[in-house]
Chains A and B, each alone.
Chain A
Amino acid sequence: MTDPVLSVRGLTVTLPREMDRRHAAENVSFDLQRGEILCIIGESGSGKSVTASAVMGLLPAVMKVAGGQVLYAGRDLLAMPEAARRALRGRSLSMIFQDPLSALNPLMTVGAQIDEVLAAHGWRDREKRTAKVLDLLTEIGLPDPPLLRHQYPFRLSGGQRQRVMIAIALALDPDVLIADEPTTALDVTTQAQILELIRTIQRRKGMSVMFITHDFGVVADIADRVIVMEKGLLVEQGAAAQVLTAPEHPYTRRLIAAVPRLRETDRVAELEAPVILRVEALHKTYRSRSGFLGHTRVVPAVRDVGFELRRGRTLGVVGESGSGKSSMGKVLMKLTDADGGRILLDGRDILPLTEAEFRPLRPRIQMVFQDPYASLNPRQTVGASLTVGPVAQGMVRSEARARAAAILAQVGLDPSAYDRFPHEFSGGQRQRVGIARALMFDPEVLIADEAVSALDVSIQAQILELLAQVQAVRHLAMIFITHDLRVASQICDEVLVMHKGRVVESGTPARIFRAPEQDYTRRLVAAIPGSRWDSAA
Chain B
Amino acid sequence: MIRYLLSRVGQSLVLLFLVSLIGFMVLNLAPGGPLSQFALTPGMTKETLDRIAEQMGLNRPLPVQYADWLWHLVQGDWGKSFRDGRPVLTIINGHLFATLLLMGSSTLLSVVIGTWIGIRSAVRQGSAFDYIATVAAMIALSIPTFWFGLVSIFVFSLWLGWLPAGNMYTVGDGSLPDIAIHLIMPSFVLALVNVAVWSRYMRSATLDVISQDFVRTAQAKGLAPRRVLMKHIVGNAMVPMITLAGMQLPTLLGGALVTETVFTWPGMGRLFLDSLGYQDYPVVMGLLVFSAVLVLVGNLLADLLAAVVDPRIRLD
Contact = CB atoms under 8 A, between A and B. Distances in A.
B46 interface: no
Interface stretch (B37-45, B111-119, B172-180, B213-221): B213-221
A106 interface: yes
A290 interface: yes
Given A106-B312, A292-B7, A88 B222 contact: yes
B222 A121 contact: yes
Contacts of A87: 222
Contacts of B314: 290
Interface in B1-30: 3-4, 7
Contacts of A97: 213, 216-217
Contact of A105 (B222, B236, B309): B236
A281 to B, nearest CB: 34
Contact of A117 (B216, B222, B236, B311): B222
A105 B218 contact: yes
A435 to B, nearest CB: 30
B227 interface: yes
Contacts of A421: none
A106 B219 contact: no
B223 A120 contact: yes
A99 interface: yes
B202 to A, nearest CB: 17
Contacts of B316: 290-291, 294
Contacts of A56: 220
B217 A107 contact: no
Nearest to A95: B220
B235 interface: yes
Interface string B125-136: 000000000000
A165 B217 CA distance: 9
Question: Which of A95, A152, A168, A291 is packed against the most chain B CB atoms within 10 Å?
Answer: A291
Contacts of B95: none
A152 B312 contact: yes
B214 A294 contact: no
Nearest to A168: B221
Interface in B237-291: 239
Given A89-B219, A107-B309, A102 B7 contact: no
B54 interface: no
Interface string B73-85: 0000000000000
Task: Say what secondary structure dominates the interface of chain B.
Answer: helix
A11 interface: no
B221 A89 contact: yes
A107 B235 CA distance: 8
A264 interface: no
B224 interface: yes
Contacts of A406: none
Contacts of B217: 95, 97, 103-105, 165, 168
A286 interface: no
Contacts, number: 84
B55 interface: no
A101 to B, nearest CB: 9
B5 to A, nearest CB: 11
Given A102-B214, A107-B236, A120 B224 contact: yes
Contacts of B311: 106-107, 152, 154
Contacts of A47: none
A58 interface: yes
Given A102-B214, A103-B213, A154-B312, A291 B219 contact: no
Given A58-B220, A87-B222, A294-B3, A99 B239 contact: no
A102 B213 contact: yes
B214 A103 contact: yes
Contacts of A105: 214, 217-218, 232, 235-236
A294 B2 CA distance: 11
Nearest to B4: A291
A181 B224 CA distance: 26
B214 A91 contact: no
Contacts of A94: 220
A80 interface: no
Nearest to B232: A105
Contacts of A89: 219-222
Nearest to B210: A61
A442 to B, nearest CB: 42
A514 B4 CA distance: 53
B212 interface: yes
A198 B71 CA distance: 71
B310 interface: yes
A316 interface: no
Contacts of A108: 231
A108 B213 CA distance: 14
Interface string B172-199: 0000000000000000000000000000
B7 A293 contact: yes
A58 B219 contact: yes
Given A291-B4, A292-B7, A90 B221 contact: yes
A291 B7 contact: yes
B220 to A, nearest CB: 4
Interface string A271-298: 0000000000000000000111110000
A86 interface: yes
A304 interface: no
A281 B80 CA distance: 70
A120 B224 CA distance: 8
Question: Which of B216, B220, B236, B309 is packed against the most chain A CB atoms within 10 Å?
Answer: B220
Given A152-B312, A291-B3, A91 B216 contact: no
A293 B10 CA distance: 12
Contacts of A102: 212-214
A99 B213 contact: yes
B310 A107 contact: yes
Contacts of A339: none
Interface in A194-217: none
B272 to A, nearest CB: 34
Contacts of B224: 86, 120
A86 B224 CA distance: 8
A106 B232 CA distance: 9
Interface of B: 3-4, 7, 212-214, 216-224, 227, 231-232, 235-236, 239, 309-312, 314, 316
15 contacts: A58-B216, A86-B222, A86-B224, A88-B222, A89-B219, A90-B220, A90-B221, A90-B222, A102-B213, A106-B214, A106-B310, A106-B311, A117-B221, A120-B223, A290-B314
Given A89-B220, A121-B222, 15 more contacts: A56-B220, A58-B216, A86-B222, A86-B223, A86-B224, A95-B217, A97-B216, A106-B312, A107-B236, A107-B309, A120-B224, A291-B4, A291-B316, A294-B3, A294-B316
